[in-house]
Amino acid sequence: MLTNALRALALLIAVTVLAGCQFVGDNRGNVPLPQSLLERMAAIGSAPGEPMMIRVYKESSELEVWKRTRSGQYALLKTYPICKWSGTLGPKIKEGDYQSPEGFYDVTPALLNPKSSYHLSFNVGFPNKFDQALQRTGSYLMIHGDCLSVGCYAMTDEGIKEIYALAREVFKGGSPAFQLQLLPFRMTEDNFARHASSPHVAFWRDLKIGADAFDQSKQPPAWDVCQQRYVFNLNDPRMSPLDPNGACPVASYSTMAAL
């Protein structure tokens, strides 16, 4: 009798522990922001619900989170090390090339995955309008945890916990999306000189226009696609949305910046 009672007690404990683990697992997406990050946010004049922007630098394996401040401009909140990305510098071309993408993307609430096999994740939104215009293919391109990449940007689990929580709070604050800038490297002329022989220089020069627009204004630039290239900050609603394969407006930001 005592043995049976002990077995029943052991079974009850095991079930309770497993249930607790399941609860923790299901609650991954609701882990609160750490106090240190909240204090840093307050120091730059921002708050959890304020809009954010993410910048990735592939070559140096860095991910930056920027937050809108009381001034209306964005300030750097924190830089996270990217644990692993795959492929080489340059855009993703086709499914199965094991290439981490580059370009400008918009992440919406529907792209968050709190039950990811890689701890937590969100889809970068590939293929976007630009990728589709060039008939580039690929699926499930993520920023996630677990330090394992087959075309994604993999963070540490601790890193993705914070980044995911930041995204969650931004959406709770009412933002419909946040901008994701996936860049090959910091867009300096020295870096362009180092990679002058790359077949992707023209594409990178296009991305640089958008990156420079943010650096100058500290506001995420609006982006669109025409003539199979990115254009930025077209404020005339008559010009948007553009035909990604059609002619660009004469007064497009990218055209003026290239002159």
Residue 7 lies in a domain: no
pLDDT attached to residue 72: 97
Same domain, 192 and 204: yes
Residue 12 lies in a domain: no
Same domain, 248 and 209: no
Same domain, 213 and 104: yes
Same domain, 114 and 235: no
Residue 140 lies in a domain: yes
pLDDT attached to residue 10: 44
Owning domain of residue 236: 222-259
Rounded to whole angstroms, what are the CA distances from 88 to 92, 93, 151?
Answer: 9, 12, 10
Look-up: residue for tokens 């650096």? 215
Residue 8 lies in a domain: no
Residue 5 lies in a domain: no
Same domain, 208 and 237: no
pLDDT attached to residue 176: 98
Contacts 24+ apart (CB under 8 A), 236-239: none
144 pairs with which residues across the strands? 121, 154
pLDDT attached to residue 237: 67
Same domain, 134 and 249: no
Same domain, 214 and 227: no
pLDDT-flagged residues of the chain (< 70):
1-26, 237-238, 251-259
Catalytic-role residue among 119, 144, 226, 248 = 144
Domain count, the chain: 2
List, for residues 155-188, the tens digit of each pLDDT value: 999 999 999 999 999 999 999 999 999 999 999 9
Handedness of CA 188, 193, 199, 201 (dihedral sign): positive
CATH of the domain at 126: 2.40.440.10
Decide if 217 contacts 91 (C-beta within 8 A).
Answer: no
Decide if 105 contacts 182 (C-beta within 8 A).
Answer: yes
Which of 218, 233, 250 terminates a domain? The answer is: 218
The verdict on pTM exceeding 0.75 is yes
Same domain, 186 and 112: yes
- 152 part of the active site: yes
When the pLDDT of each residue in the chain is averaged and rounded to a whole number, the result is 89
pLDDT attached to residue 22: 31
Same domain, 176 and 252: no
Look-up: residue for tokens 């963070």? 155
Same domain, 250 and 128: no
Of all residues in the chain, the percent with pLDDT exceeding 90 is 81
Instruction: Please state the separation of Cα 77 from the chain's center in Å.
Output: 15
Same domain, 255 and 214: no
Residue 97 lies in a domain: yes
Strands 103-107 and 84-85: unpaired
Residue 122 lies in a domain: yes
Catalytic-role residue among 21, 119, 147, 152 = 152
- 200 part of the active site: no
Residue 117 lies in a domain: yes
Same domain, 117 and 152: yes
